[in-house]
Amino acid sequence: MRSTDDRSTAARIRDTAITEFAANGVDGTSIRAIATAAGVSPGLVIHHFGSKDALRVACDEHVARIIRDVKGSAMASGGAFDVTAAFRTAGEIPAAKYLARTLADGSPHVAELVDEIVADAVEYVSAGVASGMIKPSDHEQERAAILTVWSLGALVLHEHLERLIGVDITADLSQDPTAASAYMAPILEIYGEGLLTEKTVRLFREAFISQQEEEKETA
């Protein structure tokens, strides 16, 4: 039977590498392991990317692009934003787990990755201000940098966050949004006062929290 996977070979190798790096780290993942998981030869991996380091850079760029596209679309859409759909955009790629692992492992490329994510954040936060989802600020660049570092820090420490509040923020939250209420409820309290507009807080509450509160009231 013909495969329904319509990605190019290079894209399939890159996405497989993201999964392998997320699980085992860059140092703990060999070109051969990536090739085996992707169903190709090690030589074909080298043919497309040249080296494991170059493949890692391609993975960084792809994950950064996913974040930019998802958050950019969300911020520009305003009230039409489908919150849970945003968490499904990455498909089978464990983008959050990849970020958590690569930030913790560190490399000369991490600073470049963080800089790219911050630069993208400045743009989509501005789009959020324009669409009425985010409150304006006199410190747009600094606000975007701080919010990004806070978010990335939470990813790096996601195992401790899960231990403390019972929510794995690297998981696919779209499968059961209300399971993330222990994380989303305090986030909305923290961000709702100085960052998010009332409309945005309402969208997230409806997606992640309201159903669980209703179930508690009827229990």
Band (81; pLDDT cuts 50, 70, 90): very low
In a domain, 44, yes or no: yes
153 found inside a domain: yes
On whether residue 156 sits in a domain, the answer given is yes
What is the rounded CA–CA span in Å between residue 147 and residue 67?
14
Confidence category of residue 211, pLDDT binned at 50, 70, 90: low
Asked if residue 1 belongs to a domain, the reply is no
pLDDT, position 83 = 46
Distance separating alpha carbons of residues 118 and 36, to the nearest angstrom: 34
Burial of residue 6 (number of CB atoms within 10 Å: 0-12, 13-18, 19+): exposed
Residue 2 lies in a domain: no
Question: Which residue range(s) make up the domain with 207?
Answer: 9-218
User: What is the pLDDT confidence band of residue 79, given thresholds at 50, 70 and 90?
Assistant: low
Q: What is the mean pLDDT of residues 111-128?
A: 88
- Number of structural domains in the chain: 1
- The radius of gyration of the chain from alpha carbons, rounded to an integer in Å, stands at 19
CA distance 208 to 175: 11
The answer to whether residue 48 is domain-embedded is: yes
Task: Using the predicted structure, report yes or no on whether residue 18 has a pLDDT greater than 90.
Answer: yes
Q: What is the CATH number of the domain that holds 110?
A: 1.10.357.10
SS (H, E, C) 81-145: CCHHHHCCCCCCCCHHHHHHHHHHHCCCCHHHHHHHHHHHHHHHHHHHHHHCCECCCCCHHHHHH
Chain centroid offset of residue 156 CA: 12
The pLDDT value given to residue 214: 55
Contact present, 62 and 114 (Cβ < 8 Å) = no
Phi-psi region of 167 (alpha: psi -120 to 50; beta: other; left: phi over 0): beta
Q: Do the domain assignments include residue 4?
A: no
End-to-end, the C-alpha distance of the chain in Å comes to: 49
Q: Is position 182 within any domain?
A: yes
Residue 134 CB-half CA count within 13 A: 25
pLDDT score at 187: 85
CA-CA distance, 58 to 54, in Å (whole number)? 6
